Amino acid sequence: MSVSIIFSKLFETFGINCTIFFVTLLFALPLGLIISFGSMSKIKWLQKIVRVFVWIIRGTPLMLQIIVIFYGPGLIWGGNAMPRLSAAIVAFIINYACYFSEIYRGGIQSIPKGQQEAGQVLGMTKAQIFFRVTLLQVIKRIVPPMGNEFMTLIKDTALANVIANKEIIMMSKEFATKGLIWPLFSTALFFLIFCGILSILFRYLEKKLDYFR
């Protein structure tokens, strides 16, 4: 098999990793915000439930969560399992939403109370204070930890092969069983380039927000 064919196969299967990455972000970023509001809720029982849920999700391996979501419903209710890719993506969304929620919570709680009060005494509404005063300050604070999460996420996508999603690592292992070892090592290149682009993007974002403290 020629090198170019092998690379195009690897490239194709890296599409699965990218799909998981982008779909997860699309849903986990807003879901995380909702979860963070839950974990800061003044309604004590809601806050408890949300915090226990976040603790369970963050405290157990993502690989296990993927397996449970794929096999669990079938074992309990019988019937057909979810498509493999969907099951993996659902697990990623739940898992990452919980991590994001903690980042949001840290960001929101780190804004001094005085900012909100200054807005209040100037006659601003709660919504105006959130969108015009607090939000950008929160974004500035969460950009660095979010950068870390994004990088971890793209590397974590390889875990989806635990339920036989044919992503890039699984593909390269197939080559290895046929006696071709180098494709397995070359997968590193894909992740490196992806993470390189991510870190450039995040550094740009940090720079953009550098004009205030």
Partner 1 sequence: MAILEVQNINKSFGNTRVLEDISFSLEEGNALAIIGSSGSGKTTLLRCLNFLETPDKGKIIVKNNVLFDADSASSTSENEIRRKRLHFGMVFQNFNLFPQYTALGNVMLACELLAKERSDYKTNRKKIHNEIEEKAKLLLDQMGLSDRMYNYPHQLSGGQQQRVAIARALAMEPDILCFDEPTSALDPELTGEVLKVIRSLAEKHTTMVIVTHEMSFARDVADQIIFMDGGYIVEQGNAFDVINNPKEERTKQFLARYSEK
Query: Which part of the chain contacts partner 1 (CB under 8 A), choosing from 35-43, 86-94, 107-115, 150-158?
Result: 107-115
| 103: Cβ contacts below 8 Å, ≥ 6 apart | 32, 142, 145, 146, 149
Q: How far is the CB of 138 from partner 1 (least distance, A)?
A: 11
Place of tokens 């993470």: 195
Query: Which part of the chain contacts partner 1 (CB under 8 A), choosing from 37-45, 66-74, 85-93, 126-134?
Result: 126-134
Q: How far is the CB of 111 from partner 1 (least distance, A)?
A: 10
Query: Which part of the chain contacts partner 1 (CB under 8 A), choosing from 74-82, 88-96, 110-118, 186-194?
Result: 110-118
Q: How far is the CB of 108 from partner 1 (least distance, A)?
A: 16
Taking the C-alpha atoms of 50, 155, 25 and 211 in order, what is their torsion angle to the nearest 10 degrees?
A: 100
DSSP H helices in the chain: 3-39, 44-59, 62-77, 84-109, 113-121, 126-128, 135-156, 168-177, 182-208
Where on the chain is the footprint of partner 1 (CB under 8 A)?
A: 112, 114-115, 117-126, 128, 132-133, 136-137, 140, 211-213
